[in-house]
Structure 1
Amino acid sequence: MTQKKDTILSREIGKLGGFGARLVAGLLPKNIFELTIETHSPPETALEKAFTILSTEGKVIEDRRIDPNKPAVCAIVGSGLGNLNPALVEVYVVSTKENITKLVIIGTAKEGLIKQYAGEKAARRIADLLTQVLP
């Protein structure tokens, strides 16, 4: 991520609740969840599918599909109760060998007093959608 996760999430919360919400969001703890999936698709195809899914589910904020060092797609998607909590979802290609591409999916969201596990829910939702479209 070229921008700090806290900054991105605070900005997105501020869009919903104003300047005060943005300030308070910077103090909230994060729910971070990471999982790995494997596919027989080439890395380019896997990231193209991730881009399509993330574009449909939210707003892509970083597209590094052609980055030779660390190809990735990152987006803000709705999560939590009523999909009102913004979550940052990152999809990275971490390795390819023997016709298997490994994708790491990381979901990050701010958590208030009521734990919604929005980062985890967002990462799992994107992973489920990816496993439906990738062989």
Structure 2
Amino acid sequence: MTDDVDQILADALGTAGTSGGGAGGRRGAAFAAKRLRKNVHEIDVTPAMSLGIAADHVTGVLARAGHRLAVEGAWPTSAEQVIRAIVGGGFGNMNPVLITVGLTDGGPERTVASVRGVAKEGLIKQRAGQKTAKRIVALLGQQEQLG
């Protein structure tokens, strides 16, 4: 798995293109995706929980919301973790959004979480990266209250 955001989104859009046009649809969607602009939005939150518990919550929320991805070169440490997933966004949740959550230990019962959403934008601006990042933050807040 690559860490290149453009390549990850192009691959995800290519996979979506396969359902509509077979192998040609996949290549066409991936080709076009590399030339589209990105909608990027980042939100910082500070859940009142330890890094380990926060990582478990984020992992669960992202697993339910989409498809988790491996992160190259990001070995979990005692102070930082990175969790990624492709989540559906935009109209009908058809636009793949790369959600990256960076977690940093802020103390015994405090974690700093940075939620970043990135999506490709076509002619019709859907702000899928922004809206999906906000949706994930809301889900993380619900998860925090339940935990």
In the superposition, the TM-score normalised over structure 2's length comes to 0.85
CA separation of 1:2 and 1:69: change in aligned 2, threshold 3 A: farther
Unaligned segments of structure 2, at least 5 residues: 18-25
- What CA distance in whole angstroms lies between the structure 1 residues aligned with 2:43 and 2:2? 21
What's the CA shift string for 1:41-89, capped at 9, x where partnerless?
A: 1011111110001001100002657334641110000000000000000
Which residue does the alignment assign to 1:90? 100
Partner secondary structure for residue 72 of structure 1: strand
Identity of aligned pairs, percent?
Answer: 35
Taking the aligned partners of 2:80 and 2:29, their CA distance within structure 1 comes to 33
Q: Please, which runs of 5 or more residues in structure 1 have no aligned partner? A: none
Q: CA separation of 1:3/1:65 partners in 2, compared to 1, >3 Å: closer, same or farther?
A: closer
Q: Distance in 1 between matches of 2:57 and 2:134?
A: 16
Higher helix share goes to which structure?
Answer: 2
Distance 1:69 1:98 in 2: 11
2:33 maps to what in 1? 25
Question: Structure 1 runs of 4+ off > 4 angstroms?
Answer: none
Of structures 1 and 2, the larger Rg is shown by: 2
Q: Which residue of 2 aligns with 1:79?
A: 89
Greater strand content = 1
When the two structures are aligned, how many residues end up with a matched partner? 135
User: What's 1:47 paired with?
Assistant: 55
In structure 2, what is the Cα distance between the partners aligned to 1:69 and 1:95? 5
RMSD: 1.9
Do the aligned partners of 2:79 and 2:104 also contact (CA within 8 Å) in 1? Answer: no
2:143 corresponds to: 133
